[in-house]
Chain A
Amino acid sequence: NAGVTQTPKFQVLKTGQSMTLQCAQDMNHEYMSWYRQDPGMGLRLIHYSVGAGITDQGEVPNGYNVSRSTTEDFPLRLLSAAPSQTSVYFCASSYQGLAGPSTDTQYFGPGTRLTVL
């Protein structure tokens, strides 16, 4: 299994540009989420999904859109990038089902470092 993969690894945007951060997992996980990590702020939840077709907002959703058309993919869209969105973005996934707590470990991808000029 490749686990959780993210592309691109690095990206530089100009203010106002749009882009999509890609996230995919091959573990058949129902739960997927996006976090941003800023210096001294820890990881903050942007959006999450409990299954295909179901998404919801996290702690800092403004400026970001998500969709979940398949179990495997959970892209994060920036419609009009702003300098405040300069950050490292992590996608994570975990199993959500009937197997019990031992399978609920949340696995993180390697991250995308985004700079908005």
Chain B
Amino acid sequence: GENVEQHPSTLSVQEGDSAVIKCTYSDSASNYFPWYKQELGKGPQLIIDIRSNVGEKKDQRIAVTLNKTAKHFSLHITETQPEDSAVYFCAASIYYGGSQGNLIFGKGTKLSVKP
């Protein structure tokens, strides 16, 4: 089955710097890759996702890149702000037909943005 590795487990940056979180997956059939942000005491919230027919996707300060050949994808946050501090999870899923397959999550990255 699918296995998702996520690095680093913790990341500390200064406000205004960029942050990069990387994930690798094992199943070449995986074709849907969401990223979730989890704030303390809350459930994960989708912040961006990418499908295997796209190499990069941007949404304001957040971008995700996908390298299908190497089977890895990355989250990029630019101009970080203290409110970006949270735990970030990557996930991989096989998307078939009109449905979303089950998600396999990485173990998470705790991002701390220092003012």
Contact = CB atoms under 8 A, between A and B. Distances in A.
A55 interface: no
A115 B32 CA distance: 34
B107 A111 contact: no
Contacts of B95: 101, 104
Interface in B1-60: 6, 9, 32, 34, 36, 41-46, 49, 51
Interface stretch (A11-19, A40-48, A62-70, A71-79): A40-48
Contacts, number: 65
Interface residues of B, number: 25
Nearest to A109: B43
A7 interface: no
B5 to A, nearest CB: 10
B110 to A, nearest CB: 10
Greatest chain B CB density within 10 A among A105, A106, A108, A111 is at A106
24 contacts: A31-B99, A31-B100, A35-B105, A40-B107, A43-B44, A45-B104, A90-B44, A94-B100, A96-B98, A97-B98, A99-B98, A101-B100, A104-B95, A105-B34, A105-B46, A105-B49, A106-B46, A106-B100, A108-B44, A109-B43, A110-B43, A111-B41, A111-B42, A111-B43
